[in-house]
Structure 1
Amino acid sequence: MKPYLQVENLTKYWGELALFEHINFTISEGQKVALIAKNGTGKSTLMDLIYNINSPSEGSISIASDIRVSYLRQTPDLDPDDTVMQAAFKSSDELVETIQQYEEAVDSQNHDLLAEAMEKMNRLNAWDFEVRIKQILSRLKINNLEQRISELSGGQQKRVALANVLITEPDFLILDEPTNHLDLDMIEWLEKYLGKAKSTLFMVTHDRYFLDRVCDEILELDDQTIYRYRGNYSYYLTKREERIQQQTAEVEKAKNLYRTELEWLRRMPQARGHKAKYRVENAYKLQEKASQGRSDETVELNVQGARLGKKILEVDHLSKSFGDIRILEDFSYKFSRYEKVGVVGENGTGKSTFLNLVTGAIPVDSGTIDVGETIKFGYYRQDGMQFKPEDRVLDIVKEIAEVIDLGNGQVMTAAQFLNMFLFPPEVQYSYVEKLSGGERRRLYLCTVLIQNPNFLILDEPTNDLDIMTLNVLEDYLKSFSGCVIIVSHDRFFMDKIVDHLFVFRGKGQIKDFPGNYSDYRDWKEEQDKLERKQEKQEKAEKAEPAKQDKPKPRKLTYKEKIEFEQLETDIAELEKEKASIEEAMNAGNLSPEELVEQSNRHGELQDLLDEKEMRWLELSELA
């Protein structure tokens, strides 16, 4: 396979901190590769280095010169004054440039430029490009193509940027968190799209189902080293555990050998100068190996939640609208102790609005929300991070609590608590502006949990969190002794946590589904099949009486038979002439005047063919 990307001895420092050192890997044509690592270890930095947005401290990156590359950044940089359509077209890609050249040549009536542009359009199969753009934007639920980028939400802008990299169908596609800001239907569509795409793929994502179904290889960046796993996410989990066990066994073996060698070194110190030099050197190597413990700190979220009373939360005949858009209509529900509810639905159906209503952040139109006296909400919002860039990590936590109650008489200082959240002492005294996006999310989660809530409301908590942190958060939520409402597009996360779902269907309608997300998808697919079958049956039943009452169809008259036979001859001749013109235009031997003349004739032929084929179809019904 042809190598598309080669990374050799790559090193990158962030100040004095080494994100990774001397890493090596290759991605070849046709591979679909995912990168997994903890937040703050340089995933997005590595992506920027590959696309030449940033420079490495050491090492080299080589990308094949004859391939087309597209890159979706975690935070896309779009021109706020562009329309959606202009932003989708904006690219340095040869395909987009060719279309722009063709449009300019048509406007200027420059025959030389027009001939060159048409040849490129044919070679790149660019004639249906605009149709492809609209199809992809439609699947990503961006429908107002004349809307300005500045008028879009952050999530909508990310989807426009995603459309921009997909429509050019590049040879090599680099994606940084492509599933962020997509609803579940969009994720499943993108999953299928990338699974069928011919593009070679390198991506960062925390969506584990997405990883499992799209990627055939995993790269793990761990302890500043790259580890390669030739399989999907399920295969990676198995092999990673084997690697860790093997590394642990090797370290234990080195420790035992080092103890023996250390005893040997300590004996007869007056004779040390005469001892075998290689054995002394070997002892120091064993010392280095024995000191290599795994830095696999875990976030053990054992925060003590406030006591829950008998009355939790009761929603009675709740309604909410924004203008003509109905978010909730006459919704009632009574929450029980320890209940864990998932909230799913398309973007714009009111999921976040529902959370804001429950917590009293926005007023209801009608109905009541009755909150139990003992309830203490912990609300993790999509836009809830209000940290100042100049704030220090430790000071942010200390402002909320100097000491954290873990329950059972155990307490922890703010510094100890942050260390448990994978913020080592040197990071605790860092400024927020130096944290990665995922580290800021982890810090925000920390500030929510240390307030001892007993009713957690989490709005897209999985965005920008690494897989390691997600696993720990899942374990915490499963054992959390309180109530939980989660809005998330992470299907794996939802399947592990929730007891049932609130499915937002739009127009104020909510369905309470008894099961997790995978259960719901299976049920919905069956319902869709039944609905299609019922529609087909109803159409057949409606058509049956009409078929019985339908008069006996007439046959072709003699004149129509002659016309029908002549049409077949005419269509064949027109098709032959059309093919001849297309061949001449693609050959590139026509003069500009001949090219324009043949182009006009090609359009006339197409109109004639459409007319005659339509008449042929009418007569064929009677034949």
Structure 2
Amino acid sequence: MANLLQVENLTKSFGVNSLFDDINFTINEGDKVGLIAKNGTGKSTLLSIIAGDDTPDDGKLIFKNDVTIGYLKQLPQFEPHLSVMDTCLIGDDDQSKAIRQYENALIEGNNEEMTKAIQAMDLASAWDYEERFKQILSQLKIDDFKQRISELSGGQIKRVALAKILISNPQFLILDEPTNHLDIDMIEWLEAYLTRSRMTILMVTHDRYFLDKICSKILELDQKSIFGYDGNYNYYLEKRAERIDAQNAAVEKARNLLRTEIEWMRRQPQARAHKAQYRIDAFYDLKERAQSRNDKGDVELNVKAGYIGKKIFVAHHVSKSFDGKVILNDFNYIFSRYEKLGIVGDNGVGKSTFIKLLLDRIQPDSGYFEIGETVKFGYYCQEGIHFDEGKKVIDAIRDVAEHIYFDEKHHYSASQFLQLFLFSPTDQQKLIEKLSGGEKRRLYLAMVLMSKPNFLILDEPTNDLDIQTLEILEDYLSKFSGCLIVISHDRFFMDRCVDHTFVFMGDGVIKDFPGNYSEYRAWKEAHEKEEATAQKQKAESKPVKPRSNNRDNSQKLTFKEKREFEELTESIDRLTEEKEELFNLFNSGEQIDDVATKASRFEEVKDLLDEMELRWLELSEKNS
């Protein structure tokens, strides 16, 4: 494979903080690469430099000639007054330009301009672009294409940005946390889409199943250097462990050498001490790198949860609706001691609302939650908290507690606890305003755990956390002796941390499944397959029934609707044929008479078909 990108001697610092120093790597055409590093060590900065949004202090990037790049930022921004459709059509790619030219020609009604526009559409293969755009947006659950950007949530804007980039189909796709704000169905769709794609991909993601499924190469940014692994995420874990073992062996060798050198210094004349000092400096440099390299290492994060009684909470006939949408409908449940519950479901079905009801932050329409007297909640919410930005990291954690016990006699100090969450003593003296977004989320998580709850509620805890922090959190939760509720789109995290699952189906329906997410998914696929087989067998064996004059007409078409259904069927066939004729005409390359009128008719036919097919489907379902 030919090189698509060659990175040579790249260096970047912010003030005295060096992110990476003299790094080199190559990305070939067709590579799908995952970039892994701790938060605050330069992942997003490196992506931004490669995408052209930032500049390095030194070094260079060598791209293949005329390569097209698509870059999904963590926090994309668009013009707030534009619609979703207009936003997705703004771009320098050939398809977007051709469609804008075509739309303008339609408005002007000029035959000469329309001819040029149709030729541009042909040349850019843009006739099916709009359909693909709508299909991708629909998969990402953005259905109102005329809605203004100003009316969308941050998560919806991220999905519009993702759709815009996928539609443009760049040669080189750069993704910064693409699974944030996607529900699990969307993630699995995107996973399949990128796996099939021929695009070259460089991504940062905390989703380890996503990373393992898509990427065949891993780059690890660590201690200002870059390390490459030609394999998926599991291969990387294996080889990374081997590398750390080799580094630790080198440290032990250096430690033995240091003992010899110290003894030599004691015996030799002072004039020779500079040689020993050089070796000592070299050893400490190696020791510092190796110790910081072992991010998680032998950490035993085993904090004793506070006592929790037998009664946790009971839901009594709880109902809640928002704007006509049913979230809970006569919900009853007894939560057991030590229960670890995962919650999944589409965006907007009420997962976070359920948590806020439980915590008494909003009130139900009817019913109530009865909470046990010994329950102490620790709540990590999606929105995070508002820090005092002028406060030091160590002071923020000390405001929660000075220490936390891990058994009856032993405890971690606030500083020791922060080190378990990858805040070095130097990092602890930083002002919070100097932290990256991911580092602030990590600090917030440490503060929640430092409060020593016996019932943890984590709402999308994996967003903006690096993989190393997730591993620490998973280790903590595996030993946590209290109760747990987790809302997460991270399938790997859910599989490790929960023992049963609430599936929010919508319309107030909640399915309680006795297993983790992957077990639920396997059950669901098997169940759907069995149902499909049963339906097929039923249809094949179903005898033809004679017509009865005593049918229940309440669910059947009226005479007027039946006539409408027949007319719609005929009209759809006719318009589909007309659409195909016009489409073939535009793609024929022949001279077209009255091209503006024909182009206008083509748009009219598409709109009519959309309306008629929706109505036909509605009547068809009623008639089934």
Above 0.5 in TM-score?
Answer: yes
Q: Does 1:418 align with 2:418?
A: yes
Distance 1:290 1:266, change over 3 A: farther
Tell me what 1:431 maps to: 431
Tell me what 1:51 maps to: 51
Counterpart-to-counterpart distance in 2, 1:581 and 1:142: 30
Tell me what 1:521 maps to: 521
Tell me what 1:551 maps to: none
Tell me what 1:250 maps to: 250
Distance 1:238 1:270, change over 3 A: closer
Task: Out of 254-263 and 222-231, give the one that drifted further.
Answer: 254-263
Tell me what 1:227 maps to: 227
Give the conservation status (yes or no) of the 8 Å contact 2:111–2:595.
no
Write the letter of the residue equivalent to 1:499.
Answer: D
Task: Out of 373-382 and 2-11, give the one that drifted further.
Answer: 2-11
Displacement of 1:583 in angstroms is 5.0
Tell me what 1:190 maps to: 190
Tell me what 2:173 maps to: 173
Write the letter of the residue equivalent to 2:48.
Answer: D
Counterpart-to-counterpart distance in 2, 1:603 and 1:145: 20
Counterpart-to-counterpart distance in 2, 1:371 and 1:330: 18
Tell me what 1:382 maps to: 382
Counterpart-to-counterpart distance in 2, 1:285 and 1:429: 26
Displacement of 1:293 in angstroms is 2.5
SS in 2 for 1:18: strand
Displacement of 1:108 in angstroms is 3.5
Task: Out of 307-316 and 112-121, give the one that drifted further.
Answer: 112-121
Distance 1:132 1:439, change over 3 A: same
Distance 1:365 1:292, change over 3 A: closer
Displacement of 1:97 in angstroms is 1.7
Q: How does 1:175-324 map to 2 (within 5 A)?
A: 175-261=175-261, 263-264=263-264, 267-269=267-269, 288-289=285-286, 292-295=289-292, 296-298=294-296, 300-324=300-324
Displacement of 1:8 in angstroms is 1.2
Distance 1:536 1:338, change over 3 A: same
Write the letter of the residue equivalent to 1:362.
Answer: I
Give the conservation status (yes or no) of the 8 Å contact 1:51–1:71.
yes
Task: Out of 282-291 and 312-321, give the one that drifted further.
Answer: 282-291
Write the letter of the residue equivalent to 2:13.
Answer: Y
Distance 1:546 1:245, change over 3 A: farther
Tell me what 1:474 maps to: 474
Q: How does 1:581-596 map to 2 (within 5 A)?
A: 582-585=587-590, 594-596=591-593
SS in 2 for 1:294: helix
Write the letter of the residue equivalent to 1:293.
Answer: A
Q: Does 1:87 align with 2:84?
A: no
Distance 1:476 1:280, change over 3 A: closer
Counterpart-to-counterpart distance in 1, 2:407 and 2:437: 31
Displacement of 1:263 in angstroms is 4.4
SS in 1 for 2:290: coil
Displacement of 1:402 in angstroms is 3.3
Distance 1:145 1:464, change over 3 A: same
Distance 1:287 1:487, change over 3 A: closer
Counterpart-to-counterpart distance in 2, 1:448 and 1:486: 14
Distance 1:288 1:413, change over 3 A: closer
Displacement of 1:392 in angstroms is 3.0
Q: How does 1:61-210 map to 2 (within 5 A)?
A: 61-109=61-109, 113-210=113-210
Tell me what 2:561 maps to: none
Distance 1:281 1:300, change over 3 A: closer
Counterpart-to-counterpart distance in 2, 1:121 and 1:105: 12
Q: How does 1:535-614 map to 2 (within 5 A)?
A: 535-541=535-541, 544-545=544-545, 582-585=587-590, 594-596=591-593
Counterpart-to-counterpart distance in 2, 1:521 and 1:310: 31
Distance 1:253 1:121, change over 3 A: same
Counterpart-to-counterpart distance in 1, 2:335 and 2:510: 15
Unaligned segments of structure 2, at least 5 residues: 548-579, 605-624
Displacement of 1:197 in angstroms is 0.8
Give the % identical residues: 53
Tell me what 1:42 maps to: 42
Displacement of 1:186 in angstroms is 0.5
TM score, norm. by length of structure 2: 0.84
Write the letter of the residue equivalent to 2:290.
Answer: G
Displacement of 1:300 in angstroms is 5.0
Give the conservation status (yes or no) of the 8 Å contact 1:258–1:290.
no
Distance 1:539 1:109, change over 3 A: same
SS in 1 for 2:399: helix
Task: Out of 195-204 and 530-539, give the one that drifted further.
Answer: 530-539
Give the conservation status (yes or no) of the 8 Å contact 1:494–1:517.
yes
Write the letter of the residue equivalent to 1:7.
Answer: V
TM score, norm. by length of structure 1: 0.85
SS in 2 for 1:82: coil
Displacement of 1:384 in angstroms is 3.0
Which deviations, in whole Å up to 9, do the C-alpha atoms of 1:455-494 show, x marking residues without a partner?
0011001111111111111011011010000000000011
Counterpart-to-counterpart distance in 2, 1:421 and 1:185: 31
Tell me what 1:409 maps to: 409
SS in 1 for 2:102: helix
Task: Out of 291-300 and 345-354, give the one that drifted further.
Answer: 291-300
Q: How does 1:329-348 map to 2 (within 5 A)?
A: 329-348=329-348
Q: Which has more radius of gyration?
A: 1
Tell me what 1:31 maps to: 31
Task: Out of 576-585 and 100-109, give the one that drifted further.
Answer: 576-585
Counterpart-to-counterpart distance in 2, 1:141 and 1:438: 26
Tell me what 2:7 maps to: 7
Counterpart-to-counterpart distance in 1, 2:250 and 2:466: 28
Give the conservation status (yes or no) of the 8 Å contact 1:251–1:292.
no
Counterpart-to-counterpart distance in 1, 2:359 and 2:349: 18
Task: Out of 116-125 and 467-476, give the one that drifted further.
Answer: 116-125
Which deviations, in whole Å up to 9, do the C-alpha atoms of 1:83-121 show, x marking residues without a partner?
121222222323212221232234335566544443332
Counterpart-to-counterpart distance in 2, 1:581 and 1:197: 28
Give the conservation status (yes or no) of the 8 Å contact 1:503–1:513.
yes
Counterpart-to-counterpart distance in 2, 1:60 and 1:19: 16
Unaligned segments of structure 1, at least 5 residues: 548-574, 586-593, 608-623
Counterpart-to-counterpart distance in 2, 1:480 and 1:369: 24
SS in 2 for 1:318: strand
Q: Does 1:351 align with 2:351?
A: yes
Which deviations, in whole Å up to 9, do the C-alpha atoms of 1:406-446 show, x marking residues without a partner?
44223444333323322223333323222111111111111
Write the letter of the residue equivalent to 1:131.
Answer: E
